[in-house]
Chain A
């Protein structure tokens, strides 16, 4: 049982480059979300989805784009990377109606 799988685990980008962080879950969860973790800031919600075809913004959505074409996949796109987007990114999923999230192992992104 894989749970929530994120790729890549590490990535270095130059300012202005674009990339996609992949997230897949095999638990048939309706709810999926992306968080970023920064020192002293805890986990902040970027975007979330309550089902295929439905996405919405979280607390810090600027500079990121998401889509949800299937229940399993929820990719996060960085449109034009900036140094302020250097962070650790976590994808999480859950059954709709609970706060008990299942997290992936994280993707560490550095933007130079």
Chain B
């Protein structure tokens, strides 16, 4: 049973437009959420995160929105650039549990930004 789901395996957008990547989770104990970006032949790199006490976190062109009641988060990239083309992984963690920090990852969304 996947606790973190990314239902869109791929997404294509035009350069300069908005990219919206979605993620759903089922475990209500998750209280911290992260997005990672992965280029081919490289390891994932941390992009942005959000705590469950917030509903929005912004960092430059990247904004993450959290809707706890719907157990849904989204990553907005505005404006999208060709260099943003990568696989994006959503991840979640129960950070206040006091146990080891085990991230649960979604299956990823391949974003392609067309010039």
**Footprint of B on A, CB under 8 Å?**
4, 31, 33, 35, 40-45, 48, 50, 56, 58, 90, 92, 94, 96-106
Contacts and interface: CB of A to CB of B under 8 A. Distances in A.
30 contacts: A4-B43, A31-B100, A35-B105, A40-B107, A42-B6, A42-B105, A43-B44, A43-B105, A45-B103, A48-B100, A50-B100, A90-B44, A94-B101, A96-B100, A98-B101, A99-B32, A99-B49, A99-B91, A99-B93, A99-B95, A99-B103, A100-B34, A100-B49, A101-B46, A103-B43, A103-B45, A104-B43, A105-B41, A105-B42, A106-B43
Interface of B: 4, 6, 9, 32, 34, 36, 41-46, 49, 89, 91, 93, 95, 100-103, 105-108
B43 A42 contact: no
- Sorted from nearest, which 4 A-B pairs have the closest CB atoms? A103-B43, A42-B107, A43-B105, A42-B105
